[in-house]
């Protein structure tokens, strides 16, 4: 009888240890998986000088805080149809002030034939055909605080900008800038408020 009780105790302890191990692994995994955001183009000025943003999210940003990598999909992947247009992953670091993440410099890559088919101008070799963005150093800047114009529960500002060598300054016609606003992906407001910390950078 005593031996059967000791066996059950050992068995129970194994179950408890197993549950604890699973919880630890699950917690660690949740902290290391990349955070994914749905991004819209803008804000940008329209013809009337009014700041606007696209209403539909079609871009995806993935931030891997464990490996310090940032991946941006200006054209969102569509499972079963296409893999989207991908930029990165690029190493990033926190700025000295701590209010942004900034990637290392990179060049636009030439689009594959499959990626070219996702553009309106299918003959374009690059995503952005601006002269100031082709074979030029670029960086991604991601704000770690929410965009003020959208309130405290708004999105994070992502900028893809020219990155001139230190000590040099570009003229206005040599500068490249694309702005996106990135939000937690397709979640209801109530759910987002409950899990707000999950999406903080």
Pair 187, 118 in one domain:
yes
Pair 27, 111 in one domain:
no
pLDDT in tens, 142-177: 998 877 654 445 789 999 999 988 878 888 788 899
Which residue in this structure is represented by tokens 């002030």? 97
Pair 189, 150 in one domain:
yes
Pair 94, 20 in one domain:
no
C-alpha distances (whole Å) from 152 to each of 77, 86, 144 are 29, 29, 12
Which residue in this structure is represented by tokens 């040099």? 168
DSSP 8-state assignment for residue 106: B
Most confident of 31-35, 111-115, 150-154, 162-166: 111-115
Pair 77, 22 in one domain:
no
Sign of CA dihedral 88, 94, 96, 99: positive
Range of the domain at 193: 33-199
The SS3 assignment for 25 reads helix
Pair 11, 85 in one domain:
no
pLDDT in tens, 118-129: 998 999 999 999
Q: Does the structure show a pLDDT above 60 at 30? A: no
Of 153-157, 188-192, 195-199, the one with minimum mean pLDDT is: 188-192
Report the pLDDT averaged over residues 90-114.
93
Domains held by the chain: number: 2
Query: Rounded to the nearest 5°, which phi and psi values hold at 159?
Result: -120, 135
Pair 149, 60 in one domain:
yes
Pair 139, 44 in one domain:
yes
Pair 25, 107 in one domain:
no
Pair 159, 87 in one domain:
yes
Which percentage of the chain shows pLDDT scores above 70?
68
Task: Work out the widest C-alpha separation in the chain, in whole angstroms.
Answer: 87
């Amino acid at each position: 009888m005593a031996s059967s009780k000791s066996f059950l105790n050992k068995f129970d302890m194994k179950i408890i240890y197993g549950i604890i191990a699973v919880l630890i692994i699950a917690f660690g995994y949740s902290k290391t998986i990349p955070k994914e955001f749905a991004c819209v183009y803008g804000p940008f000025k329209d013809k009337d000088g009014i700041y606007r943003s696209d209403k539909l999210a079609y871009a995806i940003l993935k931030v891997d805080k464990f490996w310090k990598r940032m991946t941006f999909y200006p054209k969102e992947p569509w499972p079963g149809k296409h893999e989207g247009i991908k930029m990165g992953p690029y190493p990033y670091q926190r700025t000295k002030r701590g209010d942004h993440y900034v990637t290392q410099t990179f060049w636009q890559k030439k689009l594959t034939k499959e990626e070219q088919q996702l553009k309106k101008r299918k003959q374009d070799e690059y995503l952005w055909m601006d002269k100031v963005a082709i074979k030029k150093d670029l960086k991604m800047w991601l704000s770690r605080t929410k965009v003020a114009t959208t309130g405290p529960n708004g999105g994070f500002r992502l900028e893809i900008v020219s990155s001139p060598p230190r000590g040099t300054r570009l003229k206005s016609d040599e500068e490249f800038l694309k702005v996106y606003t990135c939000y937690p992906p397709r979640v209801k407001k109530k759910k987002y408020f409950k899990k707000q910390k999950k999406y903080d950078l």
